[in-house]
Chain A
Amino acid sequence: MSDLIRRGPMVLGLLVALALPLLLDDFWLQTGLFAMASVVGAIGLTLLVGVAGQLSLGHAFFAALGAYTYAWTVGDPAGQEAGLGLPPLVALVLAGVVSAVVGGLFSPISGRLRGIYLGLATIGLVFLARHLMVNLEALTGGFNGRTVEPFSVPGFSFSNAAPDYLAVAGVQFEGLHRLWYLFLGIAVLSAWLGRNLRAGRTGRALANVRDSEVAAAAMGVNVARAKATAFVISSAYAGIAGALMALAYGRIAPDLFGIQLSIDFLVMIVLGGLGSIAGATAGAVFVVALPLVLAQYSSQLPFLAAPGSGGLDAATLARLLYGAAIIAVLLFLRGGLAGAASRIRHRRSAHQRGTGGPPLVPTPSPDPSGATEPPPSQPAVSTRSEEKS
């Protein structure tokens, strides 16, 4: 029963997500697609940063790798840019596999560096990616990018055609509606996999490495291998996320995969609470939707100026809110949104127990957070020896 209550919000959220395409217009559908693509990437990064304690600013590199691998694999061999003309399903899998393999090639660095040191080393990957994207014109279309073929399985295309007309409950299902369910399926699958991974043997080994490399090694965990494994897994997630982004945009260009994307992914998981899958999901939706929604409805907000007039325009306001949200969460909300949610849950359950009579165990300390167990987030990188080195 308590299990059902715990999962209640999740089931409810899933039902709402399933019903939304019946109600939303194209703008919100498009926003939802971008958000779900980012959810996949954010889950991958939270496994690396939150669970394994490794910082990465190279997530955009692997997203780019996935996006271009997808576009190249499904691309028309006779088209302007090179392509293999393989089925999209193969391309989607390949996007994850190629990113994972390249993530594995980075293991001499990812296995030996830790915490923020790895974060700095991975910055290099983003600039390397941009150089490759601009210069490998035959594959990437250079600075202007290349178009992406729509996703399809035999007999059904996730675009506006084939079947040309499809309606559910009176709502015509076009490409955006169809992609919504594809993206939702992949996002749920990756959340489920991520959850199991974190709870299983691998996840516990990674958390052990995060908390103390020496203790982990003493317990028989191969530290370098564990760190490299975390990096490979998160790269695969980023690759799939990149392929989904390519599908949502319909056209990919180097500017989409800059250092800003890496920062956005990091911000998503920090706002949500490091190490928490639900938190990564919430953070991704917030980070993706905020600028789009503000830009869409800026004409209805009287205090906003027109873009370029030097006043406060929608894009500037979105950036300021975004930065302020990061600072506020880090200063006031320990463990991000997920940490706050778990504290509220614990307070409520403690309150409910308390109404039946005097508490069985006196409250040990006036801890303002009221948490009886630590929130799911853990420090991205800690240990004092590192601060000193």
Chain B
Amino acid sequence: MTYFLTQLANGLSYGLILGLIAVGFVIVFTSTGVLNFAHGSVLLSGAYLVASLQGPIGFWAAAAVGVVGAAVLGVLINALLVRNLAEANPGTAAILMLGVDIVLLTELTRRIGNNVLSIGAPWGADVVSVGGITLPTSRVVAAGLAIVVFGLLWFLFARTGAGIAMRAAAADSDTAAMMGVRPSRTGAAGWALAGALAAVAGIFLASFPAPGVAPTLALSSFAAIPAWVLGGFDSVVGAIVSGLIIGVVTALAVGYEAELHFLGRGLGEVVPYAVMILVLLVRPSGLFGRKEAVRV
């Protein structure tokens, strides 16, 4: 039972980190209609900034630089590239992001090389034990911070003018523009938010039990794609809930791999996608997605 609860807590904390990434996908998608395949390399850029600056200026200052840096990177990608597409539509934008991802990831891989850079967080490799359940401190901090961040996001989208403008632009950008909302600003805000959230997730994904910042960190954003799809593409709440589902399912698949031996080795990597495909077979627009209404 303790083993199960440990795996469950593990999965929930991992799921909250996945939620941070998946919410970034949702916000970029709803604010600019872009399927952000470069999200992983933005995440890695943030984590790389933190790891390379934490020596000279200390972890907290480096974390701030990393989060702001990733946000700026997102805004620049949107302003310089996405808005200058020759044919602006979701398909070409998605492929553009593949190109951006390749360039960013190649450069970061060249800089990092075969090293694994330490993130230098104050919680290090500590663990917390409560009632027999042991969790890495980094995961506990991540879970707490993610919940605070989600609360702030709720406040932003529900209670502030800027957040309501973003939601209006996402719901109907033409009408919102006529009401005085500037799509260029809501788009930039969306990319900045997504970049910052990705950097926060990156810091925790590079903390213990992970060894540190390595180019493979960029792949972790792929693990959030099932969460995003499961949540229904345009729902922040859906992304958070699905992040938790995917996190728990992954942790249980890894934790009980010996019992699930008949399903093959390396089950943890494939289970999120299997869950995604199964859910899509039944509900093509995800768990929380609006069913598309077709207007003539």
Which A residues fall within an 8 A CB radius of B?
A: 49, 53, 55, 108-109, 112-113, 115-117, 119-121, 123-125, 127-128, 130-132, 134-135, 213-214, 259, 263, 266-267, 270, 274, 308, 310, 312, 316, 319-320, 322-327, 330-335, 379-382, 385-389
Contacts and interface: CB of A to CB of B under 8 A. Distances in A.
A316 B273 contact: no
Contact of B280 (A113, A132, A312, A389): A113
B102 interface: yes
A263 B95 CA distance: 9
A43 to B, nearest CB: 18
B87 interface: yes
16 contacts: A109-B280, A119-B94, A121-B280, A125-B277, A127-B273, A134-B265, A135-B265, A213-B294, A310-B113, A319-B106, A327-B81, A334-B87, A379-B89, A379-B91, A379-B92, A388-B173
Contact of B110 (A112, A115, A312): A312
B66 interface: no
Contacts of B100: 323, 327
Contact of B270 (A131, A327, A382): A131
Given A121-B229, A123-B225, A389-B292, A116 B35 contact: yes
B33 A263 contact: no
B90 A116 contact: yes
A49 B273 CA distance: 22
B225 A382 contact: no
Given A121-B229, A326-B95, A380-B91, A316 B274 contact: no
Contact of B103 (A135, A312, A320): A320
A113 B110 CA distance: 38
Contacts of A127: 269-270, 273
B126 interface: no
Interface in B63-102: 81, 84-87, 89-92, 94-96, 98-102
A308 to B, nearest CB: 8
A267 B94 CA distance: 11
Given A120-B35, A214-B296, A327-B96, A388 B273 contact: no
Contacts of B86: 330-334
Nearest to A266: B95
B172 A388 contact: yes
A265 to B, nearest CB: 11
Interface of B (DSSP majority class): helix
Contacts of B96: 326-327, 330-331
A108 B228 CA distance: 20
Given A109-B281, A380-B89, A381-B90, 20 more contacts: A53-B91, A109-B284, A117-B233, A121-B276, A121-B280, A124-B273, A127-B270, A128-B270, A135-B266, A213-B294, A323-B100, A325-B99, A326-B96, A330-B92, A381-B89, A382-B90, A382-B91, A385-B294, A389-B234, A389-B293
Contact of B225 (A120, A125, A320, A322): A120
A326 B103 CA distance: 10
> Top 5 A-B pairs ranked by shortest CB distance?
A380-B91, A326-B99, A135-B264, A323-B102, A124-B273
Which of A117, A312, A379 gathers the greatest number of chain B CB atoms within 10 Å?
A: A117
A118 to B, nearest CB: 10
Which of B225, B266, B280 gathers the greatest number of chain A CB atoms within 10 Å?
A: B280
Given A109-B280, A130-B270, A331-B81, A214 B95 contact: no
B295 interface: yes
